[in-house]
Structure 1
């Protein structure tokens, strides 16, 4: 079964909206390598329409320009790009297509394709949320930036039940950004104060 990984730039207060307004001062070689490992290594990209439009409006021109990021731009261009949208779309970026049918059913079929390469996601909150809730997202890569944006859409919406996650790995960059990789935790720890207080420091008096 194919693995789906999603990468997100996120502020310390949980904001994921408009990262171009606050993210770039923290971008360095360490983050570039992490993004390339998560997104650039995938042969298939699964994107929401807004994220796709942003990518399609920038990366083809960067590939043509042949600058420092041209190799990464070519990887994105060569990848199969599947766009999730309720609107009929026309594509000019090569290897682009629209997801057909129900999101969960279609993504389940993608995961079952005979391929060893992962499916990469970037941004696309409207797609990440339902896939995470359905247990179809294998890795959630959060680049936590040391800034409180204090406005904008946050990754997790209000809900009646919590969503437990399990930490797979963590790495701190020299910029203060922390790269956290999670997966959904289907067997979260349980307990209450009565069980927790046994781990409090005990008085020796």
Structure 2
């Protein structure tokens, strides 16, 4: 079964909206490697409408340029891009298609397709929320920036709790923390009485 990973830039207070306005000062080789490794292991991208339109407006023209991002632009251009939208869209970027049918059913079917590479999500928070809630997302990659933005779109909205299990935590020299989570099926119990057993007992 193919694995689905999602990568997001996020502030310390959970904001993911408009990252181009706040995350670039923290972008260094460590972050570039983290972003590149998540996308490089995927031959399929699952994107929401807004993310797709932003990517399609920026990346194709960079592919044939001589900038340092030309390699990434070609990787994204070559990938199969599946766009999640309730609207009929013009999809000008090559290898793009519109997802058909119910999101969870369609993504579950995608995971069953043959192949050894991942399916990657970049941004697209609405999709990430739905897949997390349905238990379909395999890995959530969060690049937590050491800044409290205090306004903006947040990753998690109101709803039922979604337990997660930490797979890895890597600090960067900029103070960014690269966290990778997966779903946690463990049933956790306990309250204040149990917690006090772990407090220092020396008086």
TM-score calculated relative to the size of structure 1: 0.97
Aligned structure 1 segments of 4 or more residues deviating by more than 6 angstroms: none
| Corresponding position of 2:186 | 187
TM-superposed deviation, 1:188: 4.2
TM-superposed deviation, 1:4: 0.2
TM-superposed deviation, 1:195: 1.0
Q: Give the count of matched residue pairs.
A: 203
| Corresponding position of 2:149 | 149
Separation (CA, whole Å) in 2 of partners of 1:74 and 1:81:
13
| Corresponding position of 2:162 | 163
Q: Specify every segment of 5 or more residues in structure 2 that has no aligned partner in the other structure, as ranges.
A: none
Deviation string, structure 1 residues 115-170 (Cα, Å, up to 9, x no partner) = 110000000011000000001100000000001111111111112x3211100001
Q: Specify every segment of 5 or more residues in structure 1 that has no aligned partner in the other structure, as ranges.
A: none
| Corresponding position of 2:24 | 24
Q: 1:34-183 counterparts in 2 under 5 A?
A: 34-159=34-159, 161-183=160-182
Separation (CA, whole Å) in 2 of partners of 1:172 and 1:38:
17
| Corresponding position of 1:199 | 198
Separation (CA, whole Å) in 2 of partners of 1:100 and 1:122:
20
Separation (CA, whole Å) in 2 of partners of 1:148 and 1:48:
25
Secondary structure at the aligned position of 2:136 is classed as coil
Secondary structure at the aligned position of 1:65 is classed as coil
Separation (CA, whole Å) in 2 of partners of 1:71 and 1:65:
10
CA change 1:166–1:188 in 2 (3 A) is farther
CA contact (8 A) 2:80 2:96 kept: yes
Deviation string, structure 1 residues 22-59 (Cα, Å, up to 9, x no partner) = 01000001100100100132100000000000100101
